[in-house]
Amino acid sequence: MSRRPRKDVPAQGAPRPTVSVCRGCCCGTEKIPGVDHAAQLSRLRSGLEGAATVRAVDCLDACEQGNVIVVQPSADGRRAGGRPVWLGLVNDEHAEQDIVTWAAAGGPGLADAPDILDLYVFQPSRRVRAGLDG
């Protein structure tokens, strides 16, 4: 083991929240009817421009919860105790707007989510969660 003192390691992670929008085998397709999936992604991107990174990702393997959106904390949010929040059945504009409001305010660890989003939160398996970070 080295006897040299450890240097402070710079903070790792994104400087702002990341909103991952599943657009895989079920989410974002006609398998979830009655939703304009392209418009949903567009609204999230325009609503969070400059405040959060919005990315479309391949299947998050939580198809029974489609459409799935994961709000990941910024580096500051993670240091404050924030962890990724998985939201399922996000199929209406009101839920999208609540996600935009929360992520724009800082997201997990820095801002409280609107209470209504508690209805959308779910916990995927550890394997599925690990896939998002991989």
| Structural domains in the chain, sorted by start | 16-129 (3.40.30.10)
Task: Give the tens place of pLDDT for each residue, 3-21.
Answer: 544 444 334 667 999 999 9
Task: Give the tens place of pLDDT for each residue, 89-128.
Answer: 999 999 999 999 999 999 999 999 999 999 999 998 777 6
Packing angle of the helix pair 93-104, 37-47 (nearest 10 deg): 20
CA 81 to chain centre: 15
Alpha-carbon distance of 78 to 72, in angstroms, equals: 9
